[in-house]
Amino acid sequence: MTIPRLFAIGFIFFCACVAWSTLGASVVSRTGESDERLAKEVARLWGGQHEQAAPAAVVERPRVVTEQVQEKDSRGQMVTRDVSRTVIDRVPIPLDSSRLKVDLALDQRRKGLLWYATYGVTFAGTYRLHNPDAQSRRWTCTWVSRPRKPSTTASPSGSTAGKCPTRVTFPREST
């Protein structure tokens, strides 16, 4: 083998490497552009990401507040009188324990040339909390399930997917 022949082989090898690198970069770039656009369509068609937060419980503690109010009487003189009113303080109650069951069912969906992992979720939870006060109090527990990226269309099952946070509030008398 001669030197010019080795240079020719090296030049051909270099050109092939540049060509393959260019082709790979264009495929990665086009896939990324397509993924950004298609991910929004996937979220719109089949629902976006959701977060399930732990429930927030609050105990209602009523207390009487007495304020001094100044008013003008019938003669136009300033009179100070005491006014009592009931104020309800809402104090958070920490959860003592939780027992959660989550069933995830992978459902891969194809959109364009890309595959997206979508999931069906079944969630069940049992939470335990206790009244921190010695006397019976009224308490409220709120669960919030919110989409990370809200969608505005209905899911294929017919339910509305991610239009707004779901709040369920149960007022109870605790002992």
Domain locations in the chain as residue ranges: 47-94+129-174
Q: Long-range contacts of range 49-54, CB-CB < 8 Å, 24 or more positions apart?
A: 49/147, 49/148, 49/149, 50/121, 50/145, 50/146, 50/147, 50/148, 50/162, 51/145, 51/146, 51/147, 51/148, 52/123, 52/145, 53/143, 53/144, 53/145, 53/146, 54/95, 54/98, 54/127
What pLDDT was estimated at residue 15?
96
What pLDDT was estimated at residue 75?
84
Closest CA to 144 of 10, 69, 53: 53
Tens-level pLDDT at each residue, the chain (175 residues): 789 999 999 999 999 999 999 999 988 887 777 777 788 888 888 777 777 788 888 888 899 999 888 888 888 888 888 889 999 998 898 888 888 888 888 888 888 778 888 888 888 888 888 888 888 888 888 877 666 544 433 333 333 333 333 333 434 444 4
What pLDDT was estimated at residue 148?
58
pTM: 0.48
What pLDDT was estimated at residue 64?
92
What pLDDT was estimated at residue 13?
95
